[in-house]
Amino acid sequence: MQIRKSFTFEAAHVLPNHPGKCSRLHGHSYRLDVALEGPLHESGPAAGMVEDFEVVSRIVEAAVIAELDHQSLNDLMDNPTAERIAGWIWRRLEPQLPALAELTLWETPRACVVMKKDDPSSRSG
């Protein structure tokens, strides 16, 4: 079974290698969808759940949103493309959310990157 939770953050960036307007400072209202996959917990506080949505929220807010919201992404990573931002997020979440199966990072309402657990990019820097 899979669960999903969405988050939003605002951030600015410059893509220094881009031949177009993205080579200038600009910002986005990002939406992050986090998907966890696995069996339902049999007992404990998350009994009957893949994971408690509150636990997911607490982890994502602390590890990702607090770090990225209203920041210049170039201060955190080189050439912060949507793909590299998704990889950065994956590496921050995976140790705390072992059931992490997929991330979808929406840079605009019509453009996103999807990273899945078996994607080699989720393991590289």
For position 45, which CATH number holds?
Answer: 3.30.479.10
Is-catalytic flag, 26?
no
The mean pLDDT value for 2-25 works out to: 96
What pLDDT was estimated at residue 28? 97
- pTM for the model: 0.93
State what percent of residues in the chain have pLDDT above 90.
92
pLDDT tens string 50-108: 999 999 999 999 999 999 999 999 999 999 999 999 999 999 999 999 999 999 999 99
The whole domain housing 59 covers: 2-122
| Catalytic residue, candidates 54, 70, 102, 112 | 70
Is-catalytic flag, 112?
no
Is-catalytic flag, 18?
no
| Catalytic residue, candidates 10, 13, 22, 102 | 22
In total, how many domains does the chain have?
A: 1
Instruction: Answer yes or no: is pLDDT of 35 > 70.
Output: yes
| Catalytic residue, candidates 13, 28, 102, 107 | 107
What pLDDT was estimated at residue 124? 59
Contact 57, 5 (CB under 8 A): yes
